[in-house]
Homo-oligomer: A and B are copies of this chain.
Amino acid sequence: MPRCRRMGPPWWEPRFREAGFRLTMPRQVILEVLSNTEEHLSAEEIYLLIHKVYPNIGLTTVYRTLDLLVDMGLVFKFDFGDKRARYELSQGPASKKHHHHLICTKCGRIIDYTDFIDEERELLQRTEAGLSEKYNFKVTSHLIQFYGLCDECQE
């Protein structure tokens, strides 16, 4: 599965060097999997995907690596209400812009949307400024999710 369609070194390589972490095979493989999917994979799903090609990489390492990647800011970790955490590259060569999620509460489908992000960003900016002033709370990130029924689940 981990198909490589670039030629140069991947964008995360310098991040590892700067941080002083070793860019090992399991780490590369996991990043490749995340680069080449549109889905929001769970740790176990990632493990199963890479296990077919690299049967020696353990589930523990997948969990540990994902934690590391989240800490480094390369990956976002989400809770979409099924019991497992789900992961997504925080940036990418293509199409991976800042976006939020629609979550179908019936079938679990996740839809990325980037619409209204601009107006949203403006409101968020004002809100964050106001919160900073009123509560002296320094916002570093936000989470916005919409729950409801997807196209197919409204009978």
Interface residues of A in 126-155 (CB under 8 A from B): 126-128, 130-131, 134-151, 154
Contacts of A126 in B (CB 8 A): 116, 119
Query: Given A123-B120, A135-B102, A135-B151: A130 and B115 within 8 A (CB)?
Result: yes
Contacts of A145 in B (CB 8 A): 142-143
Residue from the list B116, B136, B148 in contact with A151, Cβ < 8 A: B136
Binding site for B on A (CB under 8 A): 79, 102, 104-105, 111, 113, 115-116, 119-120, 123, 126-128, 130-131, 134-151, 154
List 23 A-B pairs, Cβ < 8 Å: A79-B79, A102-B131, A104-B137, A105-B140, A113-B134, A116-B123, A116-B126, A116-B127, A119-B123, A119-B126, A120-B123, A120-B127, A128-B146, A136-B150, A136-B151, A137-B146, A137-B149, A137-B150, A140-B148, A140-B149, A141-B146, A141-B148, A143-B143
